Structure 1
Amino acid sequence: MRQQDKNPTYAQKFCIAKAGKLLMHTGGLVPGARVGVAVSGGVDSMVLVRVMRARQRIVPFATELMALHLNPGFDPANHAPLAGLCEALGIAAHIEVTDHGPRAHSPENRKNSPCFYCAWLRRKRLFELCRHYRLTHLAFGHNADDLAATFFMNLFQGGRVDGMSARESFFSGRLTVIRPMLLVDKRQILRASREWELPVWENPCPHSKRSKRLEIATWLTERFASDKKSRTNVVNALRRWQLDKDAADR
């Protein structure tokens, strides 16, 4: 696994540069920021760890990073490679095995989908960890494809026009949620992950292959398969719309 890249590839530089551009545009990082990086073990969050470490070396002010991983409890050992990655990168890590997954699939959860309930438990715990470690920022690895899927899911399922903010404040400004990869296409993330040889692992959740989000993402992929120009137009339009919306909301 290559941890130091003297000659980064195009995909690696693309991810790092796009994240930096978005962070500067939105004011996503400030001097002294203490950033928790939410790591699920999937390709997006693992690339985010590498990108945030690279940005930490580039920005002209001091920041701190901590990887936050909450194992949902289906496979208590599958996160083992993350500890080695964080050690190699010199990043602190909080790795915790939870029961969020089994609880979301149990009678305890009678009103919501397992995905919704598990995500709610995970978000709640991440916020608790941010408070415990006095983190000022929480970074998620959502990308441009996630933005498109979220937009259409909100439109079809909720009847509302809404996306996914690149920068949001919580708890009266005490915590800022950032999504540095929101301008990056999934294709570049996959390439960068392969070139960094990241230890990505499979999601063992029984709903990982049949969630509503995945259904809409698959529909978009099929829709764009025969018309790449329409994909470019939709993704670029949503990027501009989301950034304009974020600017208006601040």
Structure 2
Amino acid sequence: MSEKSKAELEANKLMKRLRHAVGDAINDFGMIEQGDKIMVCLSGGKDSYAMLDILLGLQKSAPIDFDIVAVNLDQKQPGFPTHILPEYLQALGVDYHIIEEDTYSVVKRVVPEGKTTCGLCSRLRRGILYRVAKELGCSKIALGHHRDDILETMFLNMFFGGKLKAMPPKLVSDNGEHIVIRPLAYVKEKDLVRFATLREFPIIPCNLCGSQPNLQRQVVKEMLEDWDKRFPGRIESMFSALQNVVPSHLADPKLFDFVGLERGQELPHGGDTAFDKEDFSAPAAPANSGKVINILDNRSRDTEALSCK
């Protein structure tokens, strides 16, 4: 087999893996439904480009109909290349909107010199995107956070926030009016890096605002990358843990009734196993209740039946 053929084979395997990872996340969490209008938030980074690319591919073959509109927020950062995204999206033929809001000046005026601007910038950006989603009549807002982002957030909350909390693949927006989805929740960042190179996405640098890097997140990111190299499978196991939570074996009285616990009571996950030898077998896949649409099924025009996952 020639080097070119090998490269094409690897590219096809990567595309298939990404497509299935996104499709599985959509199915497991009920992210997309018949008639949805999805606002895909496009930043110009590899993750959001990949998310749009994969969702457009799924849209063509999915057994349901849903619309996609790409939205970019131009925050008037000095040096932002305003031509790149419109040219790219026009070439794709996808419906898109560029929203111009000078949040850069607001942040620079409010935040003292030397302090990180990311928190305020994020809140302003989120409020604008919620407003735009409502104006466009979108039922879902898609963000490009991947599996590594979710795990990094979990450790940041543990180390610095005192919370066992990550990024959920699906949630209600802060204002309660929208459903936010993260279709890349099952996708590895290193796969997105390779995919962006293969697709030759016109990446826009993420440091145009001049903000300081999030050093805490970078430290956690490097920790996870080191673990991934030295202990293959650890990252996958940690992400599985997020899908297999046992409240009775943690310590939050708001999630489990420790006060009302009585002798003889049977717990769904067993009692005290502190003296037992741990069995670290692979966790079972999360069960879905009821019927769901499998976004990976090929579109069928001959039947209206919905497949079960």
What is the TM-score when the length of structure 1 is the normalising length?
0.85
Q: What is the rounded CA distance, in whole Å, between the counterparts of 2:202 and 2:49 in structure 1?
A: 8
1:1-16 to 2 correspondences below 5 Å: 9-16=12-19
Would the aligned equivalents of 2:143 and 2:182 in 1 still touch at CA under 8 Å?
yes
Do residues 180 (structure 1) and 183 (structure 2) align? yes
Q: What is the rounded CA distance, in whole Å, between the counterparts of 1:227 and 1:66 in structure 2?
A: 40
Match of 2:150, SS state, is helix
Deviates more, 1:224-233 or 1:138-147: 224-233
Decide which of 220, 227, 232 is 1:228's aligned counterpart: 232
Match of 1:31, SS state, is coil
**Structure 1: which 5+ residue stretches go unaligned?**
1-5
Match of 1:129, SS state, is helix
Decide which of 131, 134, 145 is 1:131's aligned counterpart: 134
Per the TM alignment, residue 96 of structure 1 is displaced from its structure 2 partner at its CA by 2.4
Match of 1:12, SS state, is helix
Aligned to 1:149: 152
Aligned to 1:74: 77
Q: What is the rounded CA distance, in whole Å, between the counterparts of 2:107 and 2:84 in structure 1?
A: 25
Q: What is the rounded CA distance, in whole Å, between the counterparts of 1:104 and 1:187 in structure 2?
A: 32
Per the TM alignment, residue 172 of structure 1 is displaced from its structure 2 partner at its CA by 8.3
Per the TM alignment, residue 65 of structure 1 is displaced from its structure 2 partner at its CA by 0.8
Aligned to 1:3: none
Compared CA separation, residues 71 and 224, structure 1 to 2 (3 A):
same
Percent identity of paired positions between Structure 1 and Structure 2 = 22
Q: Return the letter of the residue paired with 1:189.
A: L
Aligned to 1:193: 196
Aligned to 1:64: 67
Do residues 205 (structure 1) and 209 (structure 2) align? yes
Q: Return the letter of the residue paired with 2:111.
A: N
Q: What is the rounded CA distance, in whole Å, between the counterparts of 2:197 and 2:171 in structure 1?
A: 30
Q: What is the rounded CA distance, in whole Å, between the counterparts of 2:175 and 2:201 in structure 1?
A: 36
Q: What is the rounded CA distance, in whole Å, between the counterparts of 2:244 and 2:143 in structure 1?
A: 20
Per the TM alignment, residue 223 of structure 1 is displaced from its structure 2 partner at its CA by 4.4
Q: What is the rounded CA distance, in whole Å, between the counterparts of 2:211 and 2:147 in structure 1?
A: 23
CA displacement, residues 135-168 of structure 1 (integer Å, 9 cap, x when unaligned)? 1000001000001111011111210101111111
Per the TM alignment, residue 77 of structure 1 is displaced from its structure 2 partner at its CA by 4.0
**Structure 2: which 5+ residue stretches go unaligned?**
1-7, 246-284, 290-309
Aligned to 2:28: 25
Would the aligned equivalents of 1:144 and 1:239 in 2 still touch at CA under 8 Å?
no
Per the TM alignment, residue 240 of structure 1 is displaced from its structure 2 partner at its CA by 5.0
Q: Return the letter of the residue paired with 2:198.
A: E
Q: Return the letter of the residue paired with 2:211.
A: H
Q: What is the rounded CA distance, in whole Å, between the counterparts of 1:61 and 1:102 in structure 2?
A: 43
Aligned to 2:265: none
Decide which of 216, 220, 235 is 1:216's aligned counterpart: 220
What is the TM-score when the length of structure 2 is the normalising length?
0.69
Do residues 53 (structure 1) and 61 (structure 2) align? no
Q: Return the letter of the residue paired with 1:109.
A: V
Aligned length: 238
Match of 1:228, SS state, is coil
Segments of 4+ moved more than 6 angstroms? none
Aligned to 2:111: 109
Compared CA separation, residues 222 and 233, structure 1 to 2 (3 A):
same
Would the aligned equivalents of 2:45 and 2:205 in 1 still touch at CA under 8 Å?
yes
Q: What is the rounded CA distance, in whole Å, between the counterparts of 1:136 and 1:93 in structure 2?
A: 16
Larger radius of gyration: 2
Per the TM alignment, residue 80 of structure 1 is displaced from its structure 2 partner at its CA by 2.1
Per the TM alignment, residue 190 of structure 1 is displaced from its structure 2 partner at its CA by 1.0
Q: What is the rounded CA distance, in whole Å, between the counterparts of 1:72 and 1:160 in structure 2?
A: 31
Q: What is the rounded CA distance, in whole Å, between the counterparts of 2:202 and 2:98 in structure 1?
A: 15
Per the TM alignment, residue 231 of structure 1 is displaced from its structure 2 partner at its CA by 3.0
Match of 1:105, SS state, is helix
